[in-house]
Structure 1
Amino acid sequence: MTFRTLDDVDVKGKRVLLRVDLNVPLKGEEVQDATRIARVVPTIKELVSRGATVIVLSHLGRPKGTVVPDMSLRVVTEPLSRALGMPVAFVETDWDNGKATRAVAAAKPGDVLLLENTRFHKGEEANQPSFVKRLLDLGDIYVNDAFSAAHRAHASTEGIAHFLPAVAGRAMEAEVGALTAALENPKRPLVAVVGGAKISTKFEVVGHLTSRVDTLIIGGGMANTFLYAQGKPVGRSLCEHDVVNEVREIIKQAGHHGCEILLPVDAVVAEDFKPHAHHRTVDISDVNAKERILDIGPKTLELVKACFDKAKTLVWNGPFGVFELEPFDRGTVAAAQYAAKLSREGKLLSVAGGGDTVSALNHAGVADDFTYVSTAGGAFLEWLEGKELPGVAVLQKSPSA
């Protein structure tokens, strides 16, 4: 995929509208995870060093076009300023009072302004031309550094890119580059891990991957439905009994494409769904009616490791078990640590993404060892589904700078 980047524009003396994703988890007014803030620091610093006035746009939460004080981006101002090592001016606006226009007019090259939550205006999510025009009046160049919001055709993620010179920021450039290397032009064998609770939420992901990858490893609650479809006992495990036909079709489709599907051959099971519940390890055919499958067993882990050993590229979305409850995190942690080891040794290009996946890799202490870890949720999944992302596609069609 080819698209324009910061290397293609002269930003000196220009007002740069920078769309980022500062939709960070909060506890009260405290940021619980600053990963998304850290990801945009290189782009902002580069723009400032090159003489731009940087006008930061983002959303926070889902205020649905109204001003919700608890979803104000004001709380992100200090963490962003601290990460940058320079002052950031917050502009409080309801987008109809002219404050944004006046603040931008008064700003100088090297200044960084953080404007209020774009979703406080109903025109943002509706991509209304009137709101697009309001944003256009604030800038000369548009930079999108918010891959995690690129699956939405909103005013600040897609609309304004049709009218201003539009390029990808460094985080967007890195993210799209990593995903392209993993799925569009990968070194093979290509292996994908797809886990999570329900297969019904990932039919499109799994369906698309069967035509792309050499081996598809199914984990988590999703694996239980696959096992059930093959006539295996799953006891009281999370299982979607009503989608068995669809799962069998996926298995058939994988065979048609020459894609191997790897399922658990043993499991850690317990009757109680709680931390440190009494548990045992059994072959997958020996799960009794009262038990729940909560993690993969050692035989399955060895199969996963052997698969990683053969792979050149790994795409990972979703855990192998209930990693939030000890000791049912062991399979996910061990597999993640092994993939990280291969990545550090230069034997494996590993790309992971999705909220639970990032949490699991952080829990395993290896998020920094994967080749690339995406902070995107929905955008990452839609990429895995093979869909075009509006916020990325428009960067290929933008006016020349």
Structure 2
Amino acid sequence: MTHPVYINRIAAFLPGEPVDNEHMEQVLGQVGERPSRARRLVLRRNGIRQRYYVLDPQTGVPRWTNAELTAEAVRGLTGTEVDLADIEVLACGTTMADQLAPGHGVMVHGELGNPGCEVVSLAGICAAGVAALKYAWMSVLSGQHGNAVATGSENASTLMAARNFATENAARVAALEEHPEIAFEKDFLRWMLSDGAGAMLLQDRPNATGLSLRIDWIDIHSYADRLPVCMYAGGDKDADGRFVPWRHYSSLEAALAQSAFALKQDVRLLNDQVVEVSAGHGLRDTLTRHPLSATEIDWFLPHYSSQFFRQPLYDKLAECGLEIPFERWFTNLPEVGNVGSASPYLMLEALFNGAGRLRAGQRVLCYVPESGRFSSAFMHFTVVEA
């Protein structure tokens, strides 16, 4: 027997003050002897106006860990009706935890200090937060628990700091001008990724007052069976394109010397496949299980890393028979940047807590692609009122 599950609270935590495009290099640090020439090229195309960093703007020292960011978001869920002591399940998703082991979830639990509960860590990249939400949803859906908390979080700026990057050369900047998709390597990641965390409280009953989001379904599909690794850290590709994990290097020093721990992107593979696979194949597979029409969707929340993908995504949705007009799209990418696994949480938080945006009966479709080894996630919610 299954039970309806409702998202009753959503909270976000964005560290520090917003950093605009003109000041981000001051926080991340300058690579080489002169300001980045690639920065403006990347920012002009990704549409991001500001973002948040855990790094102290004066010293560059991190002020929060990933676990601390996540704990702050979870604390934002509590209030008169819900206390930390009431949490039955804590499901945490992130791209990279603060440590190799133990899991991210138990570190968050330790930061919160709430009484013992079921804790699970979900790994991945952008879809990790969706996986955490699905675990939390299934825990309540099955009747095993009356509530669950799901989170998505990132602290990418600690990887994007100048000390982790080599100096740009003129040839590379020229290539960025001619082929903007090349910006989706380290340069793109450096000028786009942001820090932050989001959390959701799921319960087996809707809010006593106000609105809730009923979770209708969550679909996650991997296409790793047909495509190689695209976005990765902790290894690198050899001359044959085979992924070599850092533990297979001759030594830790050798892995460090070859930047095995830097976050990388296979630009050509991304440009060729991300929209077709994550939106095209992903939506077609989802529609076979959950038939939808564009007229039924009141809000479409797409997680994309850059405005560069906005029109191609629209075209692919139309090709699949789900042409949703732009006026029904909602994103806060310009205000918060790409926060990876936290991005769907931050979008839903802004929509859910934004006064007057949602009305009972409206239907919300959320799309979250992942280029790690190409996955696609779609989530469908219905707005309900007490």
Q: TM-score, normalised by structure 1?
A: 0.30
Q: TM-score, normalised by structure 2?
A: 0.30
Structure number with greater Rg is 1
Bigger proportion of residues as strand: 2
Bigger proportion of residues as helix: 1
Task: Flag the structure with more relative contact order, 1 or 2, with Cα contacts below 8 A and sequence separation at least 6.
Answer: 2
